[in-house]
Amino acid sequence: TPNPVVIKKGGDNKLHIDVSWEGLAIGEKDKVVTKLTCFSTAVTIKDSPQNHLYSDGKATYEVTVNEKGKLYKFRVVQLSGKVQRKDEEPLYDPNSLEVMRSIPGTPL
């Protein structure tokens, strides 16, 4: 089974977090929205939330570490199904799949 979350170092104060949704029973052209949040001001997350098609397979987030030597806890929320937009806010189908994972962070 592939790891749904992969954390890679991207430089002196950067992390790249890949979030995969392979293996979920979703149609290839269905939309998937992922949102990565962190419960610390020690990091800044770029481009969250992200909109994808299921066939994209994953979302990649760039995280800037503002304070080194701390532990970070991230949460990933994935929503899939019929996504509509109204005033730039996504509205989710009540039958959509929601997956939440906590990702333990590691200090740089």
**Which CATH number belongs to the domain containing residue 48 in this structure?**
2.60.40
pTM, 2 dp: 0.65
Predicted local distance difference test score (pLDDT) of residue 1: 42
Structural domains of the chain, count = 1
Per-block average pLDDT, block size 10, for the chain (108 residues)?
A: 73 85 69 80 85 86 84 73 40 39 45
Predicted local distance difference test score (pLDDT) of residue 38: 80
3-state secondary structure at position 86: strand
- Whether omega for the bond prior to residue 4 falls within 30 degrees of 0, making it cis, is no
Structural domain of 37: 5-104
Neighbours of 65 (CB within 10 A): 22
Residue 62, H or E segment = strand 58-65
Predicted local distance difference test score (pLDDT) of residue 73: 77
Predicted local distance difference test score (pLDDT) of residue 24: 62
